Amino acid sequence: MSDFLDRLSVFFDARIFDHNTGAGFFEAAPSPYLAVQEQHPENADRVRNMHSVLERGPIAEALDWFGAEPATRDDLLRFHTNDYIRSLEAIPANQTHWFSSTTLFGPGSFDVCRVSSGLALAAARQVWSGKAARAYALCRPPGHHAQPAAADGYCFINNIGVAIEALRSEGLQRACVIDWDVHHGNGTQEGFYEDPNVLTVSLHMDHRSWGPDHPQTGMANEVGRGNGIGSNLNVPLPYGSGNVAYLRAFDEIIAPAVRSHAPDILFIACGQDANQFDPNGRQIVDMEGFYQLGRRARALADELCDGKLVLVQEGGYAVSYAAYCLHATLEGVLSRERALSDPVAYMPDHGEGLDAVLAGLTTKRNAALKA
């Protein structure tokens, strides 16, 4: 039994490298004024490093590797609308389509999306069936911005949403998603916003709405709708929040809400773009912070749902450091001492002013629940 509990199933397929997001002015179109264009931040190299650090790093001997079948059309339709899936299928396989100025669907991307969702779905099924205590899916493209009827923020298919809906067809009653990607998990929120049986939690930098493709604000007063009132929890933190803020928010706001919900399984939208070197984030969480988040996720799953824990890869765009932060996260999930040292962390983190920030978030949420 101890060997079973000390291992982690990892789901991976090299076809996720085939989603080609191109190069330009960061995530925008190429500039005619620059001699060197840079890769789009959501590029294959970032997940190549995640894959390699898990294969070569100190936790390698505790990992069991698996592939998965691509998600079927029926799988996708459990979360997404038929018209939306048809719109993805209608994009010619040899063409590039921009859903927004930052969200690129390249040749063959739909097939890669099905592979990515299949990995999350297989990881969830393995844990739900009891074949593994916990699992991690190395998915790409990411999924947490994908709404039931819209692509957004590099995301086309909501991998966690597809996995939860599949498990519900197999007996799952209550689920929880904790999303600590640096950006608001608006797609997952939207998909379950009226559902009292899925608690969606997003811990993110306070970036608000970024346009018509992302109308949700991520503010604390977005608490759910109809029967789902109370089943959405947003924890937007000020820019520059670091380890202390993230861990106190988890302990003081998130964990009590998850306990109250009493899920049968816990999903983590496992992004590392809150790290201190990420080009797409403005927070300063380091490897130790991610390690502690991983430990807390494991402890909460052990306490509430017999250890059933599924982590699904989301963002993380610092090509080297995000991979190290992933390794630290999974060291925490495995309840190991940290064996991979942080080669570059330097930012002091004292959490000044945090009491007022957390109290303000709670006040806004409570006011929305009473409205």
The length of the chain is 371
The one-letter code for the residue type at 51 is H
Beta bridge partners of 266: 176, 309
| CA angle 56–123–320, rounded 5-degree value | 35
C-alpha to C-alpha distances, 143 to 154, 241, 349, nearest whole angstrom:
8, 24, 30
* 3 state DSSP class of 285: strand
β strands within the chain, DSSP E: 8-11, 23-24, 38-39, 63-66, 97-98, 104-105, 134-137, 175-179, 198-205, 232-237, 265-270, 309-313
CB atoms < 10 A from the CB of 277, how many?
19
Beta bridge partners of 179: 202, 269
145 counts as catalytic: yes
Catalytic residue among 40, 80, 145, 184: 145
- Catalytic residue positions, numbered: 145
